[in-house]
Structure 1
Amino acid sequence: MEHNNIFELIRTVELFTNESIIRWTKAFRYKIGISPILVLSVLKQKGAQKQSTLANELGYTPGAMTNIANRLISQGFAKREFNEEDRRIVLLEITEEGKNVLKEAQRVGKELRKELFQQLSEEEIEQFLAIHKKLVNTLSESK
């Protein structure tokens, strides 16, 4: 691939990602941002987690993870659970309200993607899907 094409591809993907996040943020009624939603998603999927585990999994610094956790807790979307056997171990856990917020975030995201993908023909959707599957497989193999 020519250097110009790879840079144009990278820039276009960045623009697409940024614009998608901006649109989602505007459409989502809760003002917590995408990072806290990603944390809630992991908590719902995997159950209560240590903040350090979440930070490692999502690629956040410990300080950023603390800020996200504090924001989720202050809004009632998550809570801290102390291990009864070892009080030094503190887990972050999603609350029922957090599950509702996550469900709403996923609904808004799905609506926006549906609206966006309506711009593509069936052939373009098949190509888009094939390309993304190929890239996901490449990422999975490099883990």
Structure 2
Amino acid sequence: MEKTNIFQLINAIEQLNNGNIVLFTRKFSYPLGISPILVLAELKNKGPRKQIELAELVGLTKGALTNISTKLVDLSLVERLYEEEDRRTIRLKVTEKGLAALEEAQAIGNEIYTELFEAFSEEELNEYLRLQNKLIRSRLTNWA
């Protein structure tokens, strides 16, 4: 059996991820990718946040989060809250429309997840998740 190299593994993972992202963006009614959905989820779960806090929570650069927040504000999915004592301090807050968009995204995500993993038996799925988590845990120290 030919030894699989790191580039083959990365390519296989990228193909799977890219295919799922394309499928998601085709089904989702907003012109958004995965990162803005993660931002909406953080705002829903943790309440209004400064952009720098969101960038750290989601693992994005400040510049990327600035672009995402502008897009989310333009789509009325989040609003900017200015603090009265210091108008330079701005927090982002998810709107009702943003909550509805997040709900739609989660429904599509669940649908894609179900379609993707229906190829696995329950036992295979548990083993796949166990192996993924093992890889993640072993790499966390190297990613930091």
Offset at residue 64 of structure 1 (A): 2.0
| Residue matched to 2:106 | 106
Q: Deviations over 1:92-135 (max 9, x none)?
A: 11111101100110010001110111111233212112112323
| Residue matched to 2:129 | 129
Is 1:13 the counterpart of 2:10 in the alignment? no
Determine helix, strand or coil for the equivalent of 2:26. helix
Q: TM-score, normalised by structure 1?
A: 0.87
| Distance of 2:136 and 2:107 partners within structure 1 | 23
For this pair of structures, how many residues does the alignment match? Answer: 142
| Residue matched to 2:70 | 70
| Distance of 1:68 and 1:32 partners within structure 2 | 9
Q: TM-score, normalised by structure 2?
A: 0.86
The percent identity for this pair of structures is 44
Determine helix, strand or coil for the equivalent of 1:109. helix
Read off the aligned partner of 2:101 and give its amino acid letter.
V
Structure 1 regions of 5+ residues with no counterpart? none
Q: Deviations over 1:45-66 (max 9, x none)?
A: 1111111222233232322211
Determine helix, strand or coil for the equivalent of 2:80. strand
Read off the aligned partner of 1:99 and give its amino acid letter.
L
Read off the aligned partner of 1:117 and give its amino acid letter.
F
Q: Deviations over 1:1-46 (max 9, x none)?
A: x984322111111111111111111111222222211110111111
Instruction: State which drifts further: 84-93 or 73-82.
Output: 84-93
Structure 2 regions of 5+ residues with no counterpart? none
Determine helix, strand or coil for the equivalent of 2:5. helix
Find runs of 4+ consecutive structure 1 residues off by over 6 angstroms: none
Read off the aligned partner of 1:11 and give its amino acid letter.
N
What is the root-mean-square deviation in Å for CA atoms of aligned residues?
2.1
| CA separation of 1:3 and 1:62: change in aligned 2, threshold 3 A | farther
| Distance of 1:137 and 1:67 partners within structure 2 | 31
